[in-house]
Structure 1
Amino acid sequence: MSNSKNKAASYAIIGFGKIGQALAKAFARNGIKVSVATTRDPESFAPDAAAIGSGIIPTTLAEAVKADVIFLAVRFESHPDVAKVLQTWQEKTIVDVTNAYGVPIEKMGGLPSARFVAQSFTGGKLVKGFNHLGAAILDQDPAVHGGRRVVFLASDDDGAAAEIGALAENLGFAPVKLGGLSEGGLLVQAHGNSWGKLIFQDLVKFD
């Protein structure tokens, strides 16, 4: 957290499918700049980024991972490829938006999916979040009937959870913290053919 006190944190979204684009729209709606990257050449998705807003910056994977906060919006199976880009993820917060649909629990060594993902990002702080809503819902303005759409956050690092909670509020959502990855993470995770109790629960908070 040392650097973010002096300057505003920088943000990146890795993965620019339906979920990545829905997240980018939330940034664009609130005038917050964010880099977006995939394993493809940035030119290939630059028109989609431009269509969302001028603050959505198409870039390479190597460039995107320089951000302070990185949203992992790739297919679950692709997370190790992203993790390999850096030797250490120290000083970085990774928001795990993946869902391990169809991935047998044995393949994850019996761990909750978020803890399994966290193992790949050596030194980084992982927050599970923004993954419990389908892309079509995440894509909408989170201001609903005078309330704000809830996003659930789980992390073993309280500082990282607070940082992403503040960002979620800036993006117009109502963050609800669920505790650590092993407890809270289980409520919002999918693996194999089962999913946690809060997956797909579209809730609105009224202040």
Structure 2
Amino acid sequence: MSYAIIGFGNIGQSLAKAFARKGIEVFVATTRDPESFACAAAAIGPTVIPKKLAEAVKADIVFLAVRFESHQDVAKALSNWQGKTIVDVTNAYGVPPAELVGQPSSKFIAQAFSGAKLVKGFNHLVAAVLDQDPAVHGGRRVVFLASDDDGAAAEIGALAENLGFAPITLGGLSEGGLLVQARGNEWGRLIFKDLVKFD
């Protein structure tokens, strides 16, 4: 299984650190040349590999950690996303619901990534929290996941566990998924909730 993070701002780098802590190789890419962020990637660890966007999107699981407005630029990097799983880490705060044709933002994004399975996840924590080791006082930091594909949700849930998090699946994108999606100028009720699960 191969992994990529598209977007290397604060959230993208926090995700890369989660992979690096566990020694799991992950490609990182932006629309810029990889040399421009190679030093930042190297500072995180040797398993964080800078790539051109066209190379990174070949990964099996792709974390979309760009600004919501940029998701279509990423989607154009492949004509068909069949067989891939997209983890939507974007937040569409401030985007008028009319622009999304009344849909949750993740359903809107899913349409751009033709053929892919989509999981909403890892987006409810601010970068400064996501940046930290998810092992907290003997528990594990919670990440919420939502998807219309149960298999994809289970796949990303297993990855979240491997990264040290405690995944909680909320159901479909139009139901539980709304708890972790912004609508217009309102945040979903679970966004910014930093919870820890004790087994």
Mark yes or no: TM-score above 0.5.
yes
Q: Does residue 69 of structure 1 match 2:71?
A: no
- TM-score of the pair, normalised by structure 1: 0.95
- Whether 1:50 and 2:42 are equivalent positions in the alignment is yes
User: 1:157: how far off?
Assistant: 0.5
The answer to whether the 8 Å contact 1:11/1:34 transfers is: yes
Distance 2:51 2:177 in 1: 30
Residue identity opposite 2:88 in structure 1: D
Q: What stretches of structure 1 move > 2 A for 4+ residues in a row?
A: none
Residue 171 of structure 1 is aligned with which of 163, 168, 185?
163
Residue 101 of structure 1: how far off its partner (Å): 1.2
- Measured against aligned partners, the alpha-carbon deviations of 1:107-160 in whole angstroms (never above 9, x if no partner) come to 000000110111101100000000000000000000000000000000001110
The one-letter code matched in structure 2 to 1:117 is I
Aligned length: 199
2:135 aligned with 1:143, yes or no?
yes
Q: What is residue 81 of structure 1 aligned with on the other side?
A: 73
Matches within 5 A, 1:9-158: 9-158=1-150
- For 1:203 and 1:152, locate their aligned partners in 2 and report how far apart those are by CA, in whole Å: 10
Q: Residues 43-102 of structure 1: CA distance to partner in whole angstroms, max 9, x if unpaired? A: 000000000000000000000000000000000000001001111111000000000011
AA in 2 matched with 1:82 = V
Instruction: Name the % identity.
Output: 80
Partner residue in 2 for 1:4: none
One-letter code of the match for 1:41? D
By how many angstroms is 1:42 displaced?
0.2
C-alpha separation in 1, matches of 2:105 and 2:177: 8
SS at match of 1:47: helix
Separation (CA, whole Å) in 1 of partners of 2:33 and 2:112: 24
Displacement of 1:27 after TM fit? 0.1
Task: State the AA in 1 paired with 2:142.
Answer: V
Aligned with 2:183: secondary structure? strand
CA drift at 1:190: 1.1
Aligned mates of 1:203, 1:94 — CA distance in 2: 24
